[in-house]
Amino acid sequence: MDIDLTEIVLRLGIAMLAAGAVGLNRDLHGKPIGVRTLGLVGLSTAVVVLLSDAGIAHAEISDATSRVVQGILTGIGFLGAGVIVHREAGKRVHGLTSAACVWFTACIGIVCGAGKWHLVLVAGVFAALLLSLGRPVERWFHRMRDGDSHQSSDAGPHQPGK
């Protein structure tokens, strides 16, 4: 039983927006994570759940494939962790969004391997929008909260000097 494209857009969109809202909160509080990073994590996990358990022909996924997916998602975390850099000077963290992109691309690879092209398309569009608009959204909320005189999220703890 396949769910329709509208339901896929709704589920993935809400996952991305809800996770992005948490990221916005973290960014506004000066934490080293933001809209794009957590939005990608929410989107990625929703993609994999839709593939595995939400009525998208989940009977086609064997136990062996399920174990492979589990191994990929666990292992890719180590690769993503290698992208994250903590610099003592200024105690700033870099690479969280890049690490989330690594994890997202692993999820997209899994979905491609399963041949669920409608999931790939919707998730890809949402990720592109999120990566393009996430930083401007953070900046806008900083200006709304603190006025134009406050630093943008580019000068925050996770994007120094950009």
| Residue 42: predicted pLDDT | 92
142 found inside a domain: yes
Report pLDDT for 71.
87
Structural domain boundaries enclosing 37 = 5-58+71-155
The verdict on residue 75 lying in a domain is yes
Closest CA to 76 of 36, 39, 45: 45
11-18 contact pairs (CB < 8 A, 24+) = 11/46, 11/50, 11/54, 12/43, 12/46, 12/47, 12/50, 12/119, 12/122, 12/123, 12/126, 13/126, 15/42, 15/43, 15/45, 15/46, 16/40, 16/42, 16/43, 16/46, 16/126, 16/130, 18/42
Torsion angles phi and psi, residue 94, rounded to 5: -125, 150
pLDDT of residue 88: 67
> Is residue 98 a part of any domain in this protein?
yes
In a domain, 146, yes or no: yes
Question: Distance (Å, rounded) from C-alpha 120 to C-alpha 114?
Answer: 10
Nearest C-alpha neighbor of 53 from the set 20, 11, 113, 18 = 11
Q: Is residue 161 situated within a structural domain?
A: no
Q: Are the C-beta atoms of 102 and 76 separated by less than 8 Å? A: yes
Domain count, the chain: 1
* Residue type present at position 144: M
The pair of structure tokens assigned to 94 is 């870099």
Residue 160 counted as domain residue: no
| pTM recorded for the entire structure | 0.75
Q: Does 91 fall in a domain?
A: yes
Residue-by-residue pLDDT tens, the chain, 162 positions: 567 889 899 999 999 999 999 988 888 888 888 899 999 999 998 998 888 765 555 456 777 878 888 888 888 887 777 778 766 666 677 888 888 898 899 999 988 888 889 999 999 999 999 999 999 999 999 998 887 554 444 555 454 333
Tokens of 85: 């850099």
Classify residue 65: in a domain, yes or no.
no
Tell me what pLDDT residue 32 has.
82
- Smallest Cα–Cα separation from 12: which of 122, 152, 137? 122
